[in-house]
Structure 1
Amino acid sequence: MSFAHRIKSEICSNRPFRQRRQRAMACGLLSFGGRFDRDAISIHTEHRKVARLYADSITDLVGISGSITVQEIRRGDRRSIFAVKVDSSADRAAVLLAFGRDADLEVWPVPDSPDEIPAFLSGAFLACGGISDPEKSYHLEFATQRKELCALLEQLLAGQIAAPKATVRRNDYLLYYKESEQIEDLLTLIGAPRSALELMEVKIVKDLRNKVNRATNCETANITRTVNTAVEQIEDIRLIEQSGGIGMLPEELQELARLRLSGADLSLRQLGEQLSPPISRSGVNHRLKRISEFAENLRAKGPQTE
């Protein structure tokens, strides 16, 4: 079951939330569903509970049921589509009247008070909302083919959460959020607090995982640099051995050169502790640089012929 499917299930099952503002939620469902005019009142959804809620809302609020049909359309291996429609023209007229659609169909039902906005937005999300899997990305969107409805929804969202981003995709007007905090706030607002908490938990785990990965990558990079540096130092010392022996080096460098040859994995601090007398890490680093410079001078002179 997808994250979006779980959210819509939670909203449909949140009886205290939807019963307090049943009409406002139904307004959102009807307005942002498929059709809401004299010729058709219908919705197509992949969610069985959304389809049932759509039909029940009309029955409860308008008092009709005989001409409401709910049909499951199977699509092979894919998820079924549930189609709900009001068949009778007289019943469609009753629904339009009950929800305040005027005779010219220019007015859409809107929340009667600020307290009803969350339920209206909840119905809009059930009808046309979608959300990505938070394990992959943070993205919640509303999609409608009606420009005037998109403008209304944008205004309501901006007043409740924050102004959403807007774009057009094919024939749809889209409003969307990509900030996890805004998505969490919206899910809580529209009656899906458990899903909001789930998103928060996913975000926390992802943040911790990213921190661990960054620390691991940093540690790996440091180890790689240390190993590469030690390999270069050993190559320098072996060149010195082959060119005349470690005894060619100044006396204070000879012990360190032998230690490095026998302890390729030793850190600068560990090398310094094993010297007699011990010296600091910076002192070891300085002496190794002198050994490197000595080797570079040998390379610059090239092979010596007798």
Structure 2
Amino acid sequence: MIEAILLTIVTASTPLLLAAIGELVVERSGVLNLGVEGMMVMGAVGGFLGMMWTGNPFIGAIVGILFGMALSALFGFLVLSLATNQYATGLALTILGLGLSGLLGEAYVGRSAIRMPALDIPVLTDLPIIGRLVFGQDLIFYVSIALVIGVAWFLFSTKQGLTLRAIGDNHASAHALGIKVIRYRYLAVLFGGGCAGLAGAYLSLVYTPQWAENMTAGRGWIALALVVFASWRPARVLAGAYLFGAVSIGQLHAQALGIAIPSQLLTALPYLATIVVLVIISQNRRLTMINTPASLGKSFVPDR
């Protein structure tokens, strides 16, 4: 019973972690991408279509990444090259992603996918509780953990990571020092879109191996809240993703146990938890101001 609950928590948390760690890098560069939900759902339909076309879920995951990156490239072009409002553009891209994914996946609604296989290491996978939890997961789970470690190392242990954070804190000063602000931000936006696309592909290839319209169900918005919850720190994103994943799965187990709470309230629990966390965080203005990239959400137009 405990093993089953832990496994479902991991499965529910992985797409949140992937989307949030990608958005963290984007926001560290000073760009606020409110289109994560749209990029996730495009990744979900892309992953499913790639799997259906090739019969290979691994290729499906790659296609999902490319779909997410394609939408993020459009977002980058609009907000970085044309300097449009980041908030409005992100919302528009979410609406576009939801509509376009529904159109592309219309003929595949309800069809089952080939589930991405899990790792199976003799002896280790058969260990009680930790066996399947640690040594019996799918490839995308291990990629999500590797991304957290890699992003933490990149941001705080490399010159390029320091440069990216400097751009997020003051893009004008970074530009004055000769740093290619737009180039760095484009790369960050594409990375975030790829992570969101992989998160979406995870939903249609692992979480529920099928395609359903709007199957992201607001997870992109939770991922955005997770970045704030984690105060833009990768390790805290990992902890936050698993906390929110546990809340999501908790409401399902509560329904299964027949707890006398309205099902609508239980379904809304993850989103209520998101609101509560953001309200609590907003009370500590000093902590928020210290960690928030100072140029977040501000357009940058280099001197001509």
Compute the TM-score of the two structures, normalised by the length of structure 1. 0.22
- In terms of fraction of residues, the more strand-rich structure is 1
Indicate the structure (1 or 2) with the bigger Cα radius of gyration. Answer: 1
Select the structure with the greater relative contact order (CA < 8 A; seq sep ≥ 6): 2
Q: Which has the larger share of helix?
A: 2
User: TM-score scaled by structure 2?
Assistant: 0.22
